[in-house]
Amino acid sequence: AQRVTQPEKLLSVFKGAPVELKCNYSYSGSPELFWYVQYSRQRLQLLLRHISRESIKGFTADLNKGETSFHLKKPFAQEEDSAMYYCALKNSGGYQKVTFGTGTKLQVIP
Amino acid sequence: DAGVTQSPTHLIKTRGQQVTLRCSPISGHKSVSWYQQVLGQGPQFIFQYYEKEERGRGNFPDRFSARQFPNYSSELNVNALLLGDSALYLCASSPYSSRNSPLHFGNGTRLTVT
């Protein structure tokens, strides 16, 4: 069974401080990991995925297969980063079952 | 370019009733997935349809069913509603059924069962 764990429901940081949103996963195959974000009054949208190895809005995430983690990081938090963040895992089967974590609310304090 | 559209936005039903939720994918997207999001939880996979065929099903009872039409729009049906079915139902579309195809979500339908 695949599982995604986000241990923090709420993470509060000051503007300019580093941010790390934790995500651990459990999956027996080769995972595809994502971070989705939901800003206030907006729809859930893709932030980044591990296969792209890109930085979006200053955020990066590295897949660590040894620690089964996919933590989301940003060196300097901005107020506009305040949102709900979901870590997600897609199965390796022929269809798109995506398992989401319970989400972490990031609150950036001015 | 229009995103994924869902209707209705809100719905109130009574226990035991049936409900139909609708989703129109982004133009050109052939895959539609349905997710249930209970308050305080992440979205939970219900179904995926691709080219009008069911490709995957989550751990939901048979009261939940769905279909996809030739224009790739989709309906989610829930029979014999229970209080626990109260949730935000999200539809997501993608061009393909494969792994390398991120999901594009609609705004959801908020279902309240009383």
Cα–Cα nearest to B24, from B11, B8, B43:
B8
Chain B interface includes A29 (CB < 8 A): no
| Closest by Cβ to B99, choosing from A4, A90, A99 | A90
Averaged pLDDT, A62-84 = 95
Q: pLDDT at position B96, please?
A: 76
Q: pLDDT at position B97, please?
A: 63
| pLDDT greater than 90 at residue A94 | no
Q: Which segment of A14-23, A26-35, B41-50, B92-101 scores lowest on mean pLDDT?
A: B92-101
Q: pLDDT at position A87, please?
A: 97
Q: pLDDT at position A1, please?
A: 78
Residues of B in contact with A103 (CB under 8 A): 41-42
Alpha-carbon span A21 to A70, nearest angstrom: 9
Alpha-carbon span B6 to A100, nearest angstrom: 21
User: Which phi and psi (to 5°) does residue A81 adopt?
Assistant: -80, -10
Q: Which of B38, B46, B68, B103 to mutate to test the interface with A (most CBs of A within 10 A)?
A: B103
Chain B interface includes A8 (CB < 8 A): no
Alpha-carbon span B46 to B62, nearest angstrom: 11
| Closest by Cβ to B43, choosing from A93, A95, A100 | A100
CA pseudo-torsion sign B53, B55, B77, A45? negative
Averaged pLDDT, A16-41 = 93
Neighbours of A93 (CB within 10 A): 11
Chain B interface includes A41 (CB < 8 A): no
User: Which phi and psi (to 5°) does residue B83 adopt?
Assistant: -55, -35
Alpha-carbon span B51 to B57, nearest angstrom: 15
**pLDDT class for A96, splitting at 50, 70, 90?**
confident
Q: pLDDT at position B100, please?
A: 66
Give mean pLDDT in consecutive 10-residue pieces for chain B, a chain of 114 residues. 90 98 95 94 94 91 97 97 97 79 93 97
Residues of chain A above pLDDT 70, percent:
98
Alpha-carbon span B47 to B38, nearest angstrom: 16
Q: Tell me the DSSP string of B18-85.
A: -EEEEEEPPTT--EEEEEEE-TTS--EEEEEEETTEEEEE-S--TTEEEEE-TTS-EEEEE-S--GGG
